Amino acid sequence: MKPSRRVFLQLTGSTAVLSASPRLASALDYPARPVHLIVGFAAGLSPDILARLIGQSLSARLGQQFIIDNRPGAASNIGTEAAAHATADGYTLLLTVSANAINASLYTGLNFNFARDLVPVASIGRTPFVIVVNPTFPIRSVPELMDYAKANPGKINIASAGPGTGPHVACELFKMMTGVDMVQVPYKGSYMSDLLGGQIAMAFAPIAQIIEDVRADKLVAIGLTTPTRSDAAPQIPAIAEFVPGYAASGWYGICAPAGTPDDIVEKLNTSVTACIADPALKPRLLNLGVEPTPMSAADFKRFVAEEIAKYAKVIQFAGIKVE
């Protein structure tokens, strides 16, 4: 005997619920096994140290191990590609850095699209670059730098860690927004000995790299690239105080493969936000020069999109290319 229409609908409805229940259970119980957090840099570097701090905190909070998976190389593109092609189930994540937003326009022919293949999950924090000058250089403020550069176009040399690096792009944004002409001098290795010795006048440098020399009066810090002053060095003014709208911070966050369930994204966002607010963790982040910047998943997604668009304009303006 054929089932009635009512019985048929009940049966099919039950089947649909049963077929959906494993997905719902996986979201509610997440994480049910260890999570891999890919870092596109070598062990011991700042992104790796930060990932291990966040991973330890997430492990304690969520009850599963967060395994740090270092995939260094190609300016973090190797690790980013691995994350972009991973299963979208929340068990593979990427420690995302500001370089990812720069690389989206800087590199062509990649086997992934950062904006399309990864979804922003949670913001961790931002870290300033700092304009520092050798004390023998007659500049002590951002306005003085702009005046001097306009009066001496092409005569100020700025140390650079290489084309397309965060500090290099931050400097090019400064040039684009102020109209000054300064010359980037790329170094294959460290430029610190030349900067401290006065062979080169100034640099845009990561705060963790130069803060001790600033405190020892071996270098003079005149401006931070963050939109506002940083808790890590509140005495240093933000460049934006003199160049409205300027912002070119280094930043850290977490992304997941596109298609990761929304409820897993939200759970991770809530957990990361709680981690960076933890009084036991926050001072350790600040010690690394990282100021916690909590955002909702939607706000972080918007922020990453704005960063990609901003740096695309800077790269085109400066004609930045990588070998």
Q: Where are the domains of the chain?
A: 35-127+249-318, 129-241
Measured CA to CA in angstroms, residue 80 lies from 2, 105, 216, 225, 320 at distances of 54, 14, 38, 25, 21
Residue 20 has pLDDT above 70, yes or no: no
CB 250 within 8 A of CB 98: yes
Residues 6+ apart with CB under 8 A from 113: 84, 104
Q: CA torsion sign, 78 to 81 to 86 to 91?
A: positive
Contact residues for 193 (Cβ-Cβ < 8 A; gap 6+)? none
CA angle at 312 for the pair 116 and 247, rounded to the nearest 5°: 105
Contact 309, 173 (CB under 8 A): no
pTM higher than 0.85 for the full model?
yes
Which residues, at least 6 apart from 235, have a Cβ–Cβ distance to it below 8 Å? none
35-127+249-318 matches 129-241 in fold: yes
Average pLDDT over residues 262-276: 98
Q: Give the residue carrying structure tokens 């690389």.
A: 103
- Residue 127 in contact with residue 289, Cβ under 8 Å? yes
- For the chain, what is the mean pLDDT? 91
The architecture CATH gives domain 129-241: 3-Layer(aba) Sandwich (3.40)
Give the list of residues 6+ apart from residue 155 with CB closer than 8 angstroms, or none.
Answer: 183
pLDDT, tens digit (0-9, with 9 covering 90-100), for 188-242:
889 999 999 999 999 999 998 898 999 999 999 999 999 999 887 889 999 999 9
Residue 232: its pLDDT value, please?
A: 78
pLDDT in tens, 138-181: 999 999 999 999 999 999 999 988 899 999 999 999 999 999 99
- For residue 199, how far is the Cα from the chain centroid? 31
Tell me the two tokens of residue 143. 């306005």
Class of domain 35-127+249-318: alpha beta
pLDDT at 18: 42
Is the CB of residue 291 less than 8 Å from the CB of residue 127?
yes
Contact predicate 214/53, CB 8 Å: no
Q: Give the mean model confidence (pLDDT) for residues 303-317.
A: 97
For the chain, the residue count is: 323
CB-based burial, 105-137: b 16+ in 10 Å, e otherwise: bbeeebebebbebbbbbbbbbbbbbbbbbbeeb
The SS3 call for residue 187 is coil
Buried b (16+ CB within 10 A) or exposed e, 31-56: beeebbbbbbbeeeebbbbbbbbbbe
- pLDDT recorded at residue 27: 64
Give, in degrees to the nearest 5, the angle at Cα 49 between 107 and 86: 50
DSSP-H helix ranges across 32-76: 46-62
